[in-house]
């Protein structure tokens, strides 16, 4: 089945999601941000600690269901006598519910500036390594 993949997620975050089954992540990484933009509540996503450039067939990850998604903008203004500087950043908050472990069969799309898309299959508990 095809999934949008969020890559480079810390192992501790993946373990916390496995243990507590419901967690909210704040995504600031631009590549993962594009992936979250393509998700809606009820969609499934693959999370892996593997970096985008290292993603290959056989990579393992966690499949989670999106409970809710929120995009926010943060604006910071600093000024002195000579200039005013404004910095604006965007972040995505996504609440996820743990489903199961999975293994990537093939990487479908891994282009810079677009969501990472993989074909993955669920790993039954007796097959997990």
Q: What is the CATH number of the domain that holds 69?
A: 2.30.130.40
Q: Which domain does 12 fall in, by range? A: 2-122
| Residue whose token pair is 């290959």 | 56
**18-22, 25-29, 56-60, 90-94: which has the minimum mean pLDDT?**
18-22
Residue 92 lies in a domain: yes
| Cα–Cα distance measured from residue 10 to residue 115, given in angstroms and rounded to the nearest whole number | 19
Residue 129 lies in a domain: no
- Confidence band of 95 (pLDDT split at 50, 70, 90): very high
Residue 128 lies in a domain: no
Phi/psi at 26 (nearest 5 deg)? -105, 120
Residue 8 lies in a domain: yes
Residue 110 lies in a domain: yes
| Cα–Cα distance measured from residue 118 to residue 96, given in angstroms and rounded to the nearest whole number | 18
pLDDT, mean of residues 17-32 = 89
Flag whether pLDDT at 129 surpasses 60. no
Number of domains the chain is built from: 1
Give strand ranges (E) for the chain.
2-6, 22-27, 44-47, 60-79, 84-109, 116-122
Q: What's the whole-model pTM score? A: 0.82
20-42 burial, b at 16+ Cβ within 10 Å, e below that, comes to eeebebebebebbbbbbeebeee
């Amino acid at each position: 089945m095809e999934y949008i993949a969020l890559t480079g997620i810390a192992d501790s975050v993946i373990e916390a999601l496995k243990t507590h089954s419901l967690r909210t992540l704040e995504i600031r990484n631009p590549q993962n941000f594009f992936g979250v933009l393509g998700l809606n509540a009820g969609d499934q996503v693959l999370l892996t600690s593997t970096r985008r450039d290292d993603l290959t067939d056989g990579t393992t990850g966690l499949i989670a269901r999106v409970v809710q998604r929120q995009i926010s903008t943060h604006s910071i203004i600093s000024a002195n006598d000579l200039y005013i500087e404004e910095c604006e950043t965007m972040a995505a908050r996504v609440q996820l519910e743990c489903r199961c472990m999975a293994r990537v069969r093939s990487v479908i799309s891994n282009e810079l500036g677009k969501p990472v898309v993989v074909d993955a299959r669920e790993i039954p508990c007796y097959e997990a390594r």
